[in-house]
């Protein structure tokens, strides 16, 4: 049975937070707020949850381009190969923020991602998302919620999301209305930053 759970960014309820994280650890899928559009995610360490997420998006898990939602840059080396000082400075200057940065993947990635040459890293400027990752103790693997209505590219109303997704996910977190502009994607794997998709974040390249 799916749950719609209200959380406030300025005071994240610890009891509710722990309940949601327990669902994540047990292989659940959640819809949660970020600093851009609402995300659909699961625990990076739970293979069955990752497979469910891939099925929902209609992609093969080993081919999926999911983002890793991190609390900060402190455990970056767990997921990313060694990066140059200049690259780290770009990350530090712009995160938390509405960016997805593509970085070279590390050999220590979880098994299903080990063959990936690159990973997308997000540190959203949203206290609910950051609290979830902090309590979980590792990244959330995430993708955006797309809306079939062409006028609204992304769903913004959590109650409507719940009606739409309640049979496919375990929790929808109501953190207020979401945005309808995705993150800016920047590839930092080469000598110079390359803009892949212009979104909410100011273009750096």
Cβ atoms of 176 and 91 closer than 8 Å = no
Q: Which residues contact 90 (CB under 8 A, 6 or more apart)?
A: 101, 188, 193, 204
Cβ atoms of 174 and 6 closer than 8 Å = yes
User: 199: which DSSP letter?
Assistant: -
Given strand 171-174, what is the order of strands in its sheet?
A: 3-6, 171-174, 30-32, 39-43, 140-144, 67-69, 118-122, 99-104, 184-187, 194-197
Distances (CA, A) of 129 to 10, 62, 169: 12, 25, 17
Summarised one tens digit per residue, pLDDT across range 162-175 is 999 999 999 999 99
Summarised one tens digit per residue, pLDDT across range 140-197 is 999 988 755 554 556 799 999 999 999 999 999 999 999 989 999 999 999 899 999 9
Rounded distance between C-alpha atoms, residue 50 and residue 40, angstroms:
11
The reported pTM is: 0.94
Cβ atoms of 16 and 5 closer than 8 Å = yes
Cβ atoms of 112 and 50 closer than 8 Å = yes
User: 168: which DSSP letter?
Assistant: T
Q: Is the dihedral of CA 124, 137, 55, 112 positive or negative?
A: positive
**What's the topology of domain 3-197?**
DHBP synthase (3.90.870)
Summarised one tens digit per residue, pLDDT across range 43-84 is 999 999 999 999 999 999 988 999 999 999 988 888 899 889
Residue 4 pLDDT > 80: yes
Distances (CA, A) of 146 to 85, 92, 181, 204: 35, 29, 11, 26
Residue 42 pLDDT > 60: yes
**Lowest-pLDDT choice from 16-20, 43-47, 104-108:** 104-108
């Amino acid at each position: 049975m799916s749950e719609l759970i209200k959380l406030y960014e300025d005071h994240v309820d610890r009891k509710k937070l722990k309940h949601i994280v327990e669902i994540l650890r047990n292989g659940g899928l959640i819809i949660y707020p970020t600093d851009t559009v609402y995300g659909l995610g699961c625990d990076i360490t739970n293979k069955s949850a990752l497979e469910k997420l891939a099925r929902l998006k209609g992609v093969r898990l080993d081919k999926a381009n999911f983002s890793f939602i991190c609390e900060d840059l402190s455990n970056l080396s767990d997921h990313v190969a060694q990066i140059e000082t200049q690259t780290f400075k770009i990350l530090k200057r712009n995160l938390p923020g509405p960016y997805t940065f593509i970085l070279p993947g590390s050999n220590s990635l979880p098994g299903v991602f080990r063959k990936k040459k690159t990973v997308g890293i997000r540190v959203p400027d949203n206290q609910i998302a950051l609290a979830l990752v902090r309590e979980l103790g590792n990244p959330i693997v995430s993708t955006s919620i797309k809306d079939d209505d062409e006028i609204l590219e992304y769903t913004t109303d959590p109650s409507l999301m719940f009606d739409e997704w309640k049979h496919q996910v375990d929790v929808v977190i109501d953190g207020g209305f979401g945005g309808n502009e995705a993150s800016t994607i920047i590839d930092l794997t080469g000598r110079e930053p390359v803009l892949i998709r212009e979104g909410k974040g100011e273009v750096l390249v």
